[in-house]
Amino acid sequence: MHTSPRHYFETRLRLASDPMTAAARLVSSGLHEEHVLYENAGTWSYAGGALAEVTLDRHGARLRQPEAVTLPWDGDPLRQVRDLLDSVRVEGWRAYGWAAFELSHASAGDIAHIGDERLLHLVVPRTEVRIEGGLAWLRAADQATLVAAMEALTAEPAESWSVPKPVDVRHAGADEYRRAVATAREMIDAGRLEKVIFSRVVPIDYEVDFVATYLAGRRANSPARSFLLDLGGVEAVGFSPEIVVRIEADGRVISQPLAGTRALTGDRADDERLRAELLADPKEIHEHAISVKIACDELRGVCAQGSVNVEEFMEVRERGSVQHLASRVGGRLAAGRGPWDAFRAVFPAVTASGVPKRAALESIRDVESERRGLYGGAVLTVDQDGALDAALVLRSAYRQRGRSWLRAGAGLVSGSLPERELEETCEKLGSIGRFLVPASDPVAAATTPGPAGP
């Protein structure tokens, strides 16, 4: 039987507080237990609850809205995700969620090395709020929830300060990481790889207030995207340095490889010296150049002939505790291609996997001690009109099944040295590890944030 599309109740609201503060207040309100907060180019979006939900694992893809539809595994999971989203009966929907790093195996049809873990989770929210400047656009599935969201946005917070408790990022897994760098050098010397990203895990031995950590960390970071989520049993807070891919409704595609790193200390003279060193280091330039080449090759597979070009090459971008070499590759989708084709082509990001990508994925699986999950995956939004925005999940804290941790890696090429690559992971971990706020902090529960960061 045909069912008419659902409609949201909508309103707009002028806000006295800054966008980041207002968005975090929605999360803290408890309006919805599951939520995604996503910052994209100065707009903070909150998605809470689920009118429709799409999940993917090795057994297939599922849609719940609220009736359930299941598509058994057929070797093309992203096509199944696309088809299920196309059948969502919510007018003007936007879906929010995450994709695990291991989706990279499944999207190529390989499930031999995948367990029963969830690979992708998207929701079309019951409540959605987009905040830019002093204006909030709210929509909700019912009027009562719309009023509750308005009240949460305008509630007067208590005055208090949260105090981060930095975690030691230097020692956990350090010896193992040095050995992993040496292993990578052997693989590269043998001709198996040109580049690979190996990572290490740093445990957090105390309970973290993720909302307070987001506020503290966002003020000190200048990310390409930021996010705060609790969805499908996965919690994360992060300050993404780069996008995996952005597809606009008109078919324009952008990828943004960042590779090559030096610390960002806050001392102007020291940072200028490190910047000059970064721009002149053959190892860093080589690592970056091959990443840009792969990004071009991947987009050419889904873009119109002649449309792919390097729009920006080897600029320096400051991202919290580090500065990176950054490039931007653009193109336009070929006829018959859609956003999920572009996502499949570039996922996982070459800057989180390696070159050649298939061989790098195999070596990551063989060398790293545990599955990556959200690390190196994506937090993303998908719109009914064909727009898609996917942030690379790095510089993040994670919590799942009572365990909390950080994770970071480095791009390993022929000139990589174990001590320098270990130091690079420490530099990257500083973007999140210095801003963890303990949940037991008596002033963290009702933090009033200061001005929004850059």
What residues act catalytically? 242
- DSSP for 394-413 reads -SEEEEETTEEEEEEEEEE-
Alpha-helix residue ranges (DSSP H) falling in 349-403: 357-367
Burial 219-231 (b: 16+ CB within 10 A, else e): ebbbbbbbbbbbb
Residue 125's nearest CA partner among 34, 44, 249 is 34
Rounded-to-integer distance, Cα 137 and Cα 147, Å:
13
Residue 217 is inside which H or E element, if any?
helix 210-220
Task: Report CA dihedral (8, 13, 18, 24) to the nearest 10 degrees.
Answer: -40
Rounded-to-integer distance, Cα 307 and Cα 300, Å:
8
Q: Which two tokens stand for residue 46?
A: 């909150």
Distances (CA, A) of 421 to 6, 36, 233, 266, 411: 51, 32, 32, 21, 8
Q: Which two tokens stand for residue 296?
A: 């071009």
Q: Which two tokens stand for residue 213?
A: 């950590």
Residue 258 near residue 322 (C-beta atoms within 8 A): no
Q: Tell me the three state secondary structure of residue 45.
A: strand
- DSSP for 115-177 reads -S---EEEEE-SEEEEEETTEEEEEESSHHHHHHHHHHHH--PPP----------SSTTHHHH
Tell me how long the chain is. Answer: 454
